[in-house]
Structure 1
Amino acid sequence: MSGNTATREFPVATEHNRTTRDALLAPGRAARVLGLKRSEFDLAVHLGRIRTAPDDGGGGGRVTRDEIERIRSADGFPETLRAGIRTVGTTEGAALIEVTRARFTRLARLGLLVPVKFYLNRYRAVVWLYLADEVEQFARDERNVPLLKGRTPEGLRDQLAEGLDLRPRNWRGRYLGFLLRQAHDPWARAAAVASLLDGVEVAEVVSDPYERSHLHRFRPVRPSPGSSGSSGAQLAEEIMTAADPDEIEWLRADLADAVAAAREQRPAPRPDPRTVSAPARHEPPPSETEESGRLRGLLGRLWRRDPAA
């Protein structure tokens, strides 16, 4: 264990908002204090290993000094913390449990290994990452031995042949858990569920435009590799949007329940009817008025020319 990292003390703070015990640390500073890379810190937060608190200034999740001390006082810090957030790709994960890359991929497609992150490589191919600790736990379970050696059972082979791939769906489920842990408002919880649905699905569930607008205010920013509109961003958008009918169905049900709960606790704001003026009487545009006058004049002249008049 690295004694230097484990025993490092907080520097003396001179700012007023850091003089109290429960002062909030920005994510970057909290990561440095814990001896983590920023990506490691973000994953630890994602997994609930580091608890964050809302920032009253609107700066996103921050970390209290008490939380930092709780983590640093745990047995085996920082090695245990780092081991718990270590990720592996397909090649490293397969080597970890002594199976082929193809078998590892099959296990992941079947939903037996759940990805925790993904990114797009330079060829715009999706690279899934898994927690090394979870991969090792799967291999240690005696019930999984038949899946690690020999032929994959026939029923599972049939599902794979039909194109089954639960990696995106399982990642979405895990990501939703992260969003819900970070949501400190009932509308933010509803927005977390809505973020995994297509906009059309959201509009069908939340028919009130004022509620939809309020929901949009709390919508979490989706992680998007690449610039907006790029092929990478489009692919990430597909991964982050529910696709299976049963998944969509339960997300719609969860969204309806979440919006109902948010509405009961604090209805969405809407215009005060006392301040909304009555709509002005519609006046035809000048061109329309002039056209109507010319038409009446023409009809009048025709009427005067009628011999029967």
Structure 2
Amino acid sequence: MSGNTVTPSHAVSCTPSRAARELDLKRSEFDLAVHLGRIRTVPDEGGGGRRVVRAEIDRLRSEPGFPEALRRRVLVVGTGEGAAILEVPPTRFTRLARLGLVVPVKFYLNRYRAVVWLYLADELRQFASDKTNAFLLTGRTPEVLRSQLAAGVDLRARNWRGRHLGFLLRQTDGPWQRAGALAGFLDPLQVAEIVEDPYERAHLNRFRPGPPAHGAPGTPAAHLVEKIMTADDPDELAWLRSDLANTLDEARADQPAPRPGTRPAPKPALPGPAPHPVPPHRPKQPAAPDVLDAPDVREQPDRPARGLLSWLRRRNT
């Protein structure tokens, strides 16, 4: 076999489902590990989604404490378990989350369509071990924080959007994809104000991610998730709009959006041998009778039928 043989990428990488099995992870644990950057993925050259290279799987399997250490890093807990890790009442934990001091990493809707926020247990342990946070865990909440809570501040959704946007941006491969990730957190009307060209908007929507799957499209659950996905804070809207406008400038410079009727110019034909001259077209002549003494009827254009019939009568007599 030649030394120049190229090994296909599929031979040295595997699908997410296969990688999850080899890493002894549930699929939800694997997806979260990818989301957090704990597991590196690469795009599939065939356009079939992302894959995990064999070297990445070997790296993770060789780490000390595998697989328990990897599972520990992606363990998520709710409010009750999170409060137990911080050794605070659940009500105080909720206040810390609303203030943005602990950041959710994912969420789901329970059967009552209430949002249940989930937090990384590893991050909560780090928060509890940091001595600078001790005054937040015991004693009276500082006045400035209590005033924010009284004003109705709740940064859980915004902080989740920030984490999710970071994940999406890590998966992009170009400025149009980055612009689509940013547009995914804006209301379509906001996007239309920034991207006035309908062809650019249609191209951008190809890369706009949908919200996490929670219920069939059009259901109340789906509407609620879409609301969580859409930015509503003025500061958040301002920097999302600014980043989208700047990223679009990069995308236009890199590759303009396709438009109807625009096709790539055809490649010039390669020079070849000169064509042979084509003889002038001559209409096909009818076949002559197979009798040697047949009269030449073409010499009698005025009476072609009569001459031929007279000759046939004489021949048959």
TM-score normalised over the length of structure 2: 0.78
Question: Using a 3 Å threshold, how does the CA distance of structure 1 residues 18 and 222 change in structure 2: closer, same or farther?
Answer: farther
Q: How much has 1:224 moved relative to structure 2?
A: 2.6
Find the counterpart in structure 2 of residue 32 from structure 1: 21
Segments of structure 1 that go 5 or more residues without pairing to the other structure are: 1-16, 276-309
Alpha-carbon distance in structure 2 between the residues aligned to 1:102 and 1:92: 12
Q: What amino acid is the match of 1:30?
A: A
Q: Are 1:68 and 2:54 an aligned pair? A: no
Q: How much has 1:24 moved relative to structure 2?
A: 2.5
- SS, match of residue 62 in structure 1: strand
- 2:180 aligned residue (191, 207, 212): 191
Q: Are 1:172 and 2:170 an aligned pair? A: no
Q: What amino acid is the match of 1:182?
A: Q
Q: What amino acid is the match of 1:75?
A: P
Find the counterpart in structure 2 of residue 117 from structure 1: 106
Alpha-carbon distance in structure 2 between the residues aligned to 1:245 and 1:147: 27
Provide Cα deviations, 1:118-171, integer angstroms capped at 9, x if missing partner.
000111100000000111111111111111001111111111011100000000
- SS, match of residue 252 in structure 2: helix
Alpha-carbon distance in structure 1 between the residues aligned to 2:16 and 2:109: 24
Find the counterpart in structure 1 of residue 31 from structure 2: 42
Find the counterpart in structure 1 of residue 128 from structure 2: 139
- Percent identity over the alignment? 65
Alpha-carbon distance in structure 2 between the residues aligned to 1:58 and 1:274: 23
- 1:55 aligned residue (40, 44, 48): 44
Q: Are 1:270 and 2:263 an aligned pair? A: no
- SS, match of residue 129 in structure 1: strand
Question: Using a 3 Å threshold, how does the CA distance of structure 1 residues 273 and 128 change in structure 2: closer, same or farther?
Answer: closer
Segments of structure 2 that go 5 or more residues without pairing to the other structure are: 1-5, 265-317
Find the counterpart in structure 2 of residue 87 from structure 1: 76
Alpha-carbon distance in structure 1 between the residues aligned to 2:174 and 2:143: 47
Q: Is contact 1:22–1:66 with CA below 8 Å preserved after alignment?
A: no
Q: Is contact 1:18–1:24 with CA below 8 Å preserved after alignment?
A: no
Which protein has the larger Cα radius of gyration, Structure 1 or Structure 2? 2
Q: Is contact 2:85–2:128 with CA below 8 Å preserved after alignment?
A: no
Q: Is contact 1:120–1:127 with CA below 8 Å preserved after alignment?
A: yes
Q: What amino acid is the match of 2:250?
A: A
Q: Return 94-103 or 63-72, whichever deviates more.
A: 63-72
Provide Cα deviations, 1:226-268, integer angstroms capped at 9, x if missing partner.
1111111111111000001110010000001111111111111
Q: How much has 1:38 moved relative to structure 2?
A: 0.2
Question: Using a 3 Å threshold, how does the CA distance of structure 1 residues 171 and 50 change in structure 2: closer, same or farther?
Answer: same
Residues 124-273 of structure 1 aligned to structure 2 (within 5 Å): 124-272=113-261
Provide Cα deviations, 1:89-135, integer angstroms capped at 9, x if missing partner.
00000011110000000000000000000000111100000000111
Q: How much has 1:22 moved relative to structure 2?
A: 5.7
Question: Using a 3 Å threshold, how does the CA distance of structure 1 residues 183 and 21 change in structure 2: closer, same or farther?
Answer: closer
Alpha-carbon distance in structure 1 between the residues aligned to 2:263 and 2:11: 44
Q: What amino acid is the match of 2:58?
A: E
Provide the aligned length of Structure 1 versus Structure 2: 259
Instruction: Give the CA RMSD over aligned residues.
Output: 1.8
Q: Return 244-253 or 259-268, whichever deviates more.
A: 259-268
- SS, match of residue 118 in structure 1: strand
Provide Cα deviations, 1:42-90, integer angstroms capped at 9, x if missing partner.
0000001111111122221111111111211222221221111111100
Q: What amino acid is the match of 2:246?
A: D
